[in-house]
Structure 1
Amino acid sequence: MHFRLLGPVEVVGPDGPARITAPREQIVLSMLLAEANQVVPMKRLIASIWDERAPRTARSQVQICVSTLRRHLAAAGLEGRVSTLPAGYLLQAAIEELDLLSFQQCQADGREAARRGDLEGAARAYRAGLAVWRGEPFAGLTGRVVETVATSLIERRLSVIEECIAVDLQLGRHHEVIGDLVMLVAEHPLRERLRGQLMVALYRAGRRPEALDAYHAARHMLVEDMGLEPGEPLRRLQQAILADAAELKVPAVFGAQAVPVVPLAAVIADFAGQDRGNGAAPDEVRSR
């Protein structure tokens, strides 16, 4: 890949790396990559650099940044990638050239495979997408707009992790995902979907008391720290575990026949994202 955004921003062209070190140029490049193949308005680039404190010369300074970026890209063999349009600037990149586009394509492929019932294919696609992450996006860059975009990307990564684990649970891989889920719940304690997936995996592995302990730990944290009860789906999951509900059993079509898989920990970047709330409900348990 020539462009890497999902971690420290890097550009490596056919003629070598593009040495883009100035913070403003890195911010402009990151914003163009985050919306690759789309026009990024001048106002958005200005806001990404200065927030609400833009100087009178902001427009001309952004133009200088873009001009410098073009020189760096050309020196790396990536000439002509940034276009000037009436509404703003556009950076062109193919899916295989930008890790973000590759990640998004893998997520779409995974969802389509899951929709068709190809769970093995879905798991492979999700893992391929997660493997392109190298760390926190926009690392080292600051600003309200930059941080908002980075948070959005981290949230999308977590959603793919949850979707991948949901597929693994459907495939009967509960033993394999417990370690990953313990780590993920520790990093993101407010995401109730991850907590619910951990409960399901523990229950299916014959560790019913630990599954219930995971619920009580979540409830204690929410009540003590936030004054909130767990969401209804998580409460319903606890009741299903207490009742040994049939829908919690391993799908018979897979059961012990599950195919070995590389653990998620081997393909996901080792960094802690920020929690954005309780997350979605566990999809392993439906209304009864």
Structure 2
Amino acid sequence: MLGPVEVRRDGHRVAFSGAKLHTVLAALLLAREEVVSDDRLCRLLWGWAPPATVSAQLYTYISRLRKILGDDVVIDRRPPGYAMSIGNATVDLNEFEKLALAGREALIKEDFESAGELLRDALARWNGQPFANATEYLADAEAPRLSEARAVTLEHRIAADLALGRHEQITGELTGLVSEFPLRERIRCQLMTALCRSGRQADAIHLYHHGRAVLADELGVNPGEELQATYRALLDGTLDRRPASVPAVRADARPRVSGPAAGAPAMLPPDTVDFTGRGPELDLVCRALAPDGQGAGRPRRVLVTGMAGLGKTALAVHAAHRCQRHFPDGQLYADLRAADGTPRHPARVLRRLLRALGPMDDVPAADDQDQLVRLYRERTRGRQLLIVLDNASGAAQLGPLLPNTPEPAVLVTGRTALPTVAGAHTVALAPLEPRDSLELLAAAAGPARVAAAPCAASAIVEHCAGLPLALRIVGTRIAARPHCTPDRLAHRLADPLTRLRELHSGDLDVHSSLLPSWRALDPEVRAVFPALAALGHGPGPRPFPAAEAATALDVPEAEAERLLEALADAALLEVSGADEWGQPCYLFHPLVRLFALSLEEGRPPLPGGPAGRAGHNRRLTHRP
């Protein structure tokens, strides 16, 4: 099963075909001679849309398997399902588990030669993607657990090789594994160690900063303690003497690749070690999540809002770690936005959360959202859970993910207010103050580098306009390149024409972080967005009323206000006070204004014809 499902007799593959037949065989083998119910077989074969002839088709598949496998393998009918006894046959999954456990035990005992051989033998049992020729319902339910077991075994085998001084031999393999598993921090640590021991410290430093950027972009978090400790050892020259880290393993433990998770779920991303500023906001979130922070029986819900790049995820994750003691039943986490910026379907998110909450036997194999919501609310009812829902896009996505009882607390991040989170404490993030901005820049770049160039650091803080993402990008660039001085970067950021292009490092990019907000706008709002960028611009940002926008766009004032409110809802404009007649005024964040101007090339025609384009003869360019 560690690859396409297949049967071999005397070394030769037994011919049989059909995804459903392979699925029945795999399901019976995974049960390890326990009964597999007809209902479970039905879900793994057809999802939640079975045919009317389910019983007859199941009987046909079982009969065919009996003929293929012969008398040495017994498939019994045991209501409410079937059980398989494999006799003297072997299963690659069972062999993999035994060898992996023995290898891990040898690793703990520091018998690195034996550990390496056992773990290599375990990995040799793999022959491709698990269940590649079975139904998608089986693959979705079981393949992730097998793949995780393989990745952990790979980490252990590499730890043995590093302990034996084989760093040069495995550097190429590790480079490929980091590309395959960019979010697995232990593999990145192992490649950093191998590079350092091969005399390639600069490459190891670059690898760390690339990993930090990937984690920030994909999860909105900083590296975990192990990756940070490896980086510190690299900088102080002790990495080549550090032993490879080996996770503790009980002697009686067996790697679990199916069935319920042990203990309470703990899905939170690693805490932000250099979390900076946001003291009042952090206190408010923690008080609202604490059990005594609300009236008895009232749901605890907190919403953190703000434009892209303001550190909503960092605040939420930091607060969640601080409040863990209040949630003995565990913590759930889900990023509701895919890597390309599009919203994830709630059914996919529910399936991931349900996998953390308990057995998957009664979880629908198909994305039946109503059934998934029902099961999710059953499993969260009455439990002291903290549920962190990151990057929510709207009510349709968020609604199915909210429990319907008061015991679980919910912490949501999003770019605007969400009416679905009724009665929530809303914490609206603003740009950082200069002092906190300087502290964040120093944490990312290194205090010594920033302290040595105070004027340049102040200029960088001004150009980043309190946006944590921008500050972290600049700090990362300074830290990763000794020749890249704060003075040099401050000079490059001083030109508005190139500032956005400079706010880019690896996968971190201010322009790209703002694009999803712009793409989510209605077409007519997208069209006028660049034309509004000249409003309120002067020596410093200036709020402007809807009347001024109406003149620039040559539209009625009421229409201009509607467009401005849509931009404010998308966190691309800020409502900032009122004019002398009590009408609301709007304000561009300096970097959002540059982003808007960068979109002018090739934009659609604006309402009002030429008048709508008045005052926009300046063009900014940006990489695609």
Does the 8 Å contact 1:192/1:279 carry over to 2? no
Q: Residue type matched to 2:43 in 1?
A: A
Which secondary structure does the structure 1 equivalent of 2:17 belong to? Answer: coil
- Deviation, 1:279, is 10
Match runs of 1:195-206 below 5 Å: 195-206=188-199
Assess, with a 3 A threshold, how the Cα gap between structure 1 residues 94 and 240 changes in structure 2: closer, same or farther. Answer: farther
> In structure 1, what is the equivalent of residue 55 of structure 2?
59
> In structure 2, what is the equivalent of residue 264 of structure 1?
none
CA distance in 1, matches of 2:88, 2:154: 21
Which secondary structure does the structure 1 equivalent of 2:77 belong to? Answer: strand
> In structure 2, what is the equivalent of residue 98 of structure 1?
91
- Deviation, 1:15, is 10
CA distance in 2, matches of 1:169, 1:68: 48
Question: What RMSD, in angstroms, separates the aligned Cα atoms of the two structures?
Answer: 2.6
* TM-score normalised by L of structure 2: 0.37
> In structure 2, what is the equivalent of residue 249 of structure 1?
241
Does the 8 Å contact 1:36/1:93 carry over to 2? no
The answer to whether residue 168 in structure 2 is matched with residue 175 in structure 1 is yes
The answer to whether residue 64 in structure 2 is matched with residue 72 in structure 1 is no
Q: Which runs of 5+ in 1 are unaligned?
A: 252-276, 281-288
Which secondary structure does the structure 1 equivalent of 2:7 belong to? Answer: strand
Deviations 1:34-72 (A, max 9, x none): 333333232221111112222343233222211111112
> In structure 2, what is the equivalent of residue 39 of structure 1?
35
Q: Which is worse superposed, 182-191 or 79-88?
A: 79-88
The answer to whether residue 160 in structure 2 is matched with residue 160 in structure 1 is no
> In structure 1, what is the equivalent of residue 78 of structure 2?
85
Does the 8 Å contact 1:190/1:278 carry over to 2? no
CA distance in 2, matches of 1:86, 1:43: 11
Correspondent of 2:117 among 100, 120, 124: 124
* TM-score normalised by L of structure 1: 0.77
User: Relative CO higher for 1 or 2, CA cutoff 8 Å, sep ≥ 6?
Assistant: 1
> In structure 1, what is the equivalent of residue 221 of structure 2?
228
Correspondent of 2:22 among 26, 42, 53: 26
> In structure 1, what is the equivalent of residue 364 of structure 2?
none
> In structure 2, what is the equivalent of residue 256 of structure 1?
none
Does the 8 Å contact 1:123/1:168 carry over to 2? yes
Correspondent of 1:193 among 186, 189, 192: 186
Which secondary structure does the structure 2 equivalent of 1:83 belong to? Answer: strand
Q: Residue type matched to 1:46 in 2?
A: C
CA distance in 1, matches of 2:88, 2:218: 43
Does the 8 Å contact 1:70/1:79 carry over to 2? no
Q: Which has the higher helix share?
A: 1
CA distance in 2, matches of 1:210, 1:95: 51
- Count of residues paired in the alignment: 247
CA distance in 2, matches of 1:144, 1:20: 20
Correspondent of 1:211 among 204, 209, 221: 204
Deviations 1:228-254 (A, max 9, x none): 222232122211211113x64166xxx
Does the 8 Å contact 2:72/2:88 carry over to 1? no
Does the 8 Å contact 1:181/1:197 carry over to 2? yes
CA distance in 1, matches of 2:178, 2:50: 40
Does the 8 Å contact 2:102/2:115 carry over to 1? yes
Q: Residue type matched to 1:233 in 2?
A: E
- Deviation, 1:87, is 4.6
- Deviation, 1:278, is 11
- Deviation, 1:111, is 1.7
- Deviation, 1:168, is 1.4
- Deviation, 1:23, is 2.0
CA distance in 1, matches of 2:177, 2:25: 31
- Deviation, 1:94, is 6.3
Q: Residue type matched to 2:223 in 1?
A: P
Match runs of 1:129-144 below 5 Å: 129-144=122-137
> In structure 2, what is the equivalent of residue 265 of structure 1?
none
When Rg is computed on C-alpha atoms for both structures, the one with the higher figure is 2
Q: Residue type matched to 2:137 in 1?
A: R
Q: Which is worse superposed, 127-136 or 232-241?
A: 232-241
Which secondary structure does the structure 2 equivalent of 1:10 belong to? Answer: coil
Q: Which runs of 5+ in 2 are unaligned?
A: 244-266, 271-624
